Chains A and B, each alone.
Chain A
Amino acid sequence: MAGYSFTRRRAIILLSLTSVLLITLDLRGSSAVNFTRSAFGSIFRPIESATRVVTRPIQNTWNGITNYNDVLAENRRLRDLVAYDEGATVAAIASVREAQELLALNGLPTLAGISSCTAQVVGQSPSNFTQTVELNRGSECGIKVGMPVLNAAGMIGKVTDVYSKRSVVMLITDPGYSLSVKVVNTPPTTTTTTVPGQVAPSTTSTTTTTTTTTIPRTTTSTIKGFTPGGTAAPTTTQPLLPGETTPTGTVGPNQPGKNTSSPITVPAGADLPLRETGALEGRGLTKNPVIRFIENQPRFGSVAVGSPVISSGGATSLAPPDIVIGTVSRVVKRSGTLGPLLEVKLSANFDNLNFVRVLLYQPITERPAAP
């Protein structure tokens, strides 16, 4: 300790003040701190890569010891899954294209219109208290802070830090993450039972023809009720009045004064899947995220376990609409006007993140304010 120019008390005060100064600068978004981190990343990257190469055999040995049985079981399961999915993929692609065309025709936003950048996960946070991963693409690919990141299964998070050739993604499981989502609930079905020997309850003389278009159902995922393009809404056709015929030739069915008898096709809204919005919040890697602020609407009914959860979109949302997030795994009912609390089982597997897609969609809330 001899030759040390300042005393212990001064050293401690100096260290404390430096820490407070650095924390304050970083929390206020200082560009100097970001530059320092970026420069350090450039210097540290080769050292890290060299260490990764050297320590790979040790990692492989560790994984061999701890995960061998799991890998075998997973391999078997994946083979079955691949065989199952191959047939469904072709039909699913066709359905998704049809859905996108339909959305585009109606002027609705679709994911197809958003450019993306494919990146690989090169590391995860070494800390036990933050859920982040690092990607090998950065601003050179057009990535900006706030852009949503997804993999083949669904949403995984949002970009929080961007450097020239790398970026950091906050996972959807991080307690600091929040996203507005939609829960697609299947409406309760009403069944009419007729006891043999009794008169049927329906005695009205009005004839109603119900046309139900049934397209062969193709299941593209295990999410209940979420088969894009797989089903069509049942339609109700109003009957013709006595003595009337359906107009032929170039005359349209909707003639003035005859709207009551024209065969107008209306969707039976009561049978369509119902949607309700809420806010998804992460709770760490060990707990499933939850959805709050779901309203208690009688028409929405009780939320079924297995109902799909997708991003809701909107002007201030962190992600465009209709990105798959997961399914409802548990419904916690709360008293009073509080809506239910929904636990969500995420579609993406966060233990094995590899290739991901960054949607080049920067939400309005994440855009830097104009000076």
Chain B
Amino acid sequence: MIERLVVLAEARYTRLILVGLLFLSLQTTIFNEMRPFGVSLQVMLLLAGSCGLAKGSQTGAVAGFIVGLLYDMVLTTPMGLCAAVFAVVGYLAGFVHTFVHESTWWSRMLASLGVSVIGMFMLPIAFTITGAEGVLTTEVFLVASVVAVFNAALSLPAEWLCNWAIRDEALVR
């Protein structure tokens, strides 16, 4: 029984959920209060994108889905909406980076910036598709810009954290 629990705890997606909970608590507390230019910074989006950068498109999509689902739990928007968007963001982050021949720190930051912009445009579009009104405004440009710059600045430590969280089980043991 205990061995099973240990195996479960060592599973990479369990670690990702724990890291996701930590990021979610930061999202709902400190980043909810600190709003530069009136914009709530999106660390959950940062986590989803960083997972894709760290582990490629397939793992990025699954990790993004899990992170988005955690975010959906505290939002009033339809469950699964952020999960779908963040899965796309995680996938794109990994996919875009496969085109880079020799990745550098700035190419990773650039990729994080790009996928964050895409994510912040996809969110209001998805909200609109599911029936929300008045979210697709010109303000999205400001929100996307601020969130993207912030996510790019923090993409390297976030990627390092994701590398640790979703490393293969064989390496853990």
Give CA–CA (A139, B120) in the complex, Å: 34
Residue of B at shortest CB range from A22? B80
Tell me the minimal C-beta distance from A43 to chain B in angstroms. Answer: 9
Contacts of B77 in A (CB 8 A): 127, 129-130
- CB pair A19 B25 closer than 8 Å: no
Q: Tell me if B58 and A8 are in contact (CB < 8 A).
A: yes
Across the interface, A286 reaches (CB within 8 A) one of B33, B124, B139, namely B139
Q: B79 to A62, Cβ gap below 8 A? A: no
Q: Quick check: A41 and B73 within 8 Å, CB to CB?
A: yes
Q: What 0/1 readout, one digit per residue, does chain B (58-92) give for beta carbons within 8 Å of chain A?
A: 11011001000100111111111101100100010
Please, which residues of chain A bring their CB within 8 A of the CB of B134? 175-176, 282-284
Among B99-107, B110-118, B125-133, B149-157, the one that faces the other chain is B125-133
Question: With A18-B65, A19-B84, A58-B30 as given contacts, are A48 and B25 in contact (CB-CB < 8 Å)?
Answer: yes
Residues in B neighbouring A21, C-beta threshold 8 A: 80
A window 1-54: CB within 8 A of B:
1, 3-4, 8, 11-12, 15-16, 18-23, 25-27, 33, 36-37, 40-41, 44, 47-48, 50-52
Beta-carbon contact of B130 and A23 below 8 Å: yes
Contact residue among A26, A125, A283 (Cβ-Cβ distance under 8 Å from B80): A26
The answer to whether B135 and A175 have CB atoms under 8 Å apart is yes
Question: Interface size class for chain B?
Answer: 35 or more
* B54 vs chain A, min Cβ distance (A): 13
B11 contacts chain A at the CB level, 8 A cutoff: no
| A123 interface hit (Cβ, 8 Å) | yes
B34 within 8 A of A: yes
What number of residue pairs across chains A and B have CB atoms under 8 A from each other?
143
Q: Closest chain B residue to A51 by CB distance? A: B25
Chain A residues touching B, range: 35 or more
- A51 CA / B74 CA spacing, docked (Å): 15
A48 contacts across to B, CB distance below 8 A: 25, 28-29
Docked-complex contact B80 and A1, CB < 8 angstroms: no
Compute how far the CA of A3 lies from the CA of B83 in the bound complex, rounded to whole angstroms: 24
* Proximity string of chain B (20-39) to chain A, C-beta cutoff 8 Å, 1 when within and 0 when not: 01101111111111100011
Q: Assess A59 versus B34: contact at CB under 8 Å? Given A18-B80, A40-B73, A41-B73.
A: yes
User: Are A128 and B79 touching (Cβ within 8 A)?
Assistant: no
Decide: B21 and A125 in contact? CB cutoff 8 A.
no
Q: Which of A294-320 contact B (CB under 8 A)?
A: none
Quick one: which of B22, B31, B61, B123 has the most chain A CB within 10 A? B61
A126-B40, A175-B135 known; A16 vs B73 contact (CB < 8 Å) = no
A36, B84: Cβ atoms closer than 8 Å: no
Interface pair A161/B76, CB less than 8 Å apart: yes
Contact present for B57 and A44 (CB under 8 Å): no
A59 CA to B35 CA in the complex, in Å?
Answer: 11
B52 on the A face (CB < 8 A) = no
In angstroms, Cα B69 to Cα A79, docked, is 46
Pairwise interchain contact B57-A284, C-beta atoms closer than 8 A = no
B75 and A127: CB pair below 8 A?
yes
Does A120 interact with chain B (Cβ within 8 Å)? no
Q: Which residue of A lies closest to B134 (CB)?
A: A175
Residues of chain B at the chain A interface (Cβ within 8 Å): 21-22, 24-34, 38-40, 42, 56-59, 61-62, 65, 69, 72-81, 83-84, 87, 91, 120, 123-124, 127, 130-135, 137, 139, 143, 168
A residues near B (Cβ < 8 Å) are 1, 3-4, 8, 11-12, 15-16, 18-23, 25-27, 33, 36-37, 40-41, 44, 47-48, 50-52, 55, 58-59, 62-63, 123-130, 132, 160-161, 168, 170, 175-176, 282-284, 286
Subset of 11 A-B contacts with CB under 8 Å: A1-B58, A15-B62, A18-B83, A19-B87, A22-B83, A41-B74, A59-B33, A126-B40, A129-B124, A129-B127, A168-B76
